[in-house]
Amino acid sequence: MLSSIAKELKGEGGTLVLLHGNADPDAIASAFAVQEAFPAVTIGATGGIDRLAKVLSTTLGIESFEDVTGVPKKRILILDTSGPEQLEGRFDLSQAIVVDHHTRNDRWKDAMMYHCDESKTSCSEIVYELLKAAGKKPSKNVSLALMFGILTDTGYFKFAKPSTLVAFSELMAEHGVHMDEAMDLVDLEVDISERVSQLKGAQRLKYWKTGDYIVATSQGSAFEASVCKALLNLGADVAFVGSQRGDQFRISARATQAVVRKGVHLGKLLGDVGSETTNGGGGHPGAAGLTGVGDVEAILNIAAENALRQLRKIHSSGN
Ligand SMILES: [Mn+2]
């Protein structure tokens, strides 16, 4: 399949690459590699690109377009996109080649070609194979991009498979790229005001311990979510950070994956706090928020007490 896709992409008439909405580094890296290896490729990110992918694009000079009307194309290549609903805009699937690593999807049945390799942890690995099938060697920048795509899609190798590491080591060897070069490719500098907020958060920190678990709260006036993450890095299992503006308050909450796996659900927890105090809250198990009218300190105490109760239950059930 990959060699017939390579053959098609070598043909005349231009290729428009399309990526899933809020495209991530894996998607952008895959598109960049295809653009280098085949003629007349335009990268379309009709649903925008995420923060990391933006920094990656700036670092390596990858150009993508949100508006793709008028791009000359004979075919569309859809990368890293699990279904048509992930694409922003309407496109003729009968001229589309789909290359993906998510779960195989019947909704791509109208595509001209569909190569879905669920055994791969990233699209970058498949595109690297596509390059090999086309007899192309990636440049240093493309190798770096693909390595970064693999790193981010595998959570820095946490979810990597043996074949992921083989592909990654081959990419390293292509141009003698070092591990730290790939790891530090995208330098997300934390703004000075954000770092000050984190330090202030640590200064105003309160914490409670139950069994082997720690719940922390703090107050600030900005970057509540980022302060939460800083408190988790300091050792808390669950963190609540709030701010007060007049009679309005805002709370962010974060929990480690370890306590989420044991049953902590911050979305439900803050939802309950919200209904106890007639404020609105909700979110995911590991990340949630609550806003409303009231005294932030009182709400933080209620939230912390509820979290401690949940953790005590987990502790006494011996989980
Ligand atoms: Mn991906």
Between vectors from CA 122 to CA 228 and to CA 23, what angle results, nearest 5°?
60
The amino acid sitting at 251 is I
Task: Report domain 194-316's class.
Answer: alpha beta
62 near 56, Cβ under 8 Å?
A: yes
| CA 7/CA 141 separation, integer angstroms | 24
Residues of the chain with CATH 3.10.310.40: 194-316
Burial of 270 (0-12, 13-18, 19+ CB in 10 A): buried
The amino acid sitting at 223 is F
Give distance in angstroms: CA of 99 to centre of ligand 1: 10
Nearest one of 274, 277, 268 to 307, comparing CA atoms: 268
Give distance in angstroms: CA of 101 to centre of ligand 1: 7
Give distance in angstroms: CA of 294 to centre of ligand 1: 42
Give distance in angstroms: CA of 50 to centre of ligand 1: 13
Structural tokens at position 299: 């709400």
Task: Report domain 2-183's class.
Answer: alpha beta
CA 42, distance to chain mean position in Å, is: 24
Give distance in angstroms: CA of 150 to centre of ligand 1: 8
Give distance in angstroms: CA of 80 to centre of ligand 1: 5
Pairing relationship of beta strands 248-255 and 213-219 according to DSSP bridges = unpaired
| CA 41/CA 153 separation, integer angstroms | 24
Give distance in angstroms: CA of 217 to centre of ligand 1: 35
Burial of 185 (0-12, 13-18, 19+ CB in 10 A): buried
Give distance in angstroms: CA of 198 to centre of ligand 1: 31
Sheet holding 15-19, edge to edge: 41-44, 15-19, 75-79, 96-100, 113-116
Give distance in angstroms: CA of 48 to centre of ligand 1: 15
Give distance in angstroms: CA of 79 to centre of ligand 1: 9
Backbone angles phi, psi at 209, to 5 degrees: -120, 135
Q: How far apart are the first and last CA of the chain?
A: 47
243 near 225, Cβ under 8 Å?
A: no
pLDDT digits (tens, 9 = 90+) for 267-295: 999 988 888 777 777 778 888 899 999 99
Give distance in angstroms: CA of 30 to centre of ligand 1: 9
Looking at residue 302, its pLDDT comes to: 96
Residues of the chain with CATH 3.90.1640.10: 2-183
The set of residues, in sequence order, having a beta carbon less than 8 Å from that of 245 and lying 6+ positions away, is 221
| Residue showing tokens 């900005």 | 222
Give distance in angstroms: CA of 141 to centre of ligand 1: 19
Nearest one of 178, 151, 144, 176 to 165, comparing CA atoms: 151
Residues near ion ligand 1 (CB < 5 Å) are 26, 80, 123, 153
| CA 36/CA 200 separation, integer angstroms | 47
| CA 41/CA 97 separation, integer angstroms | 13
Burial of 23 (0-12, 13-18, 19+ CB in 10 A): buried
Listed as ranges, residues in the chain with pLDDT below 50 are none
Give distance in angstroms: CA of 293 to centre of ligand 1: 41
Residues in the chain, overall count:
319
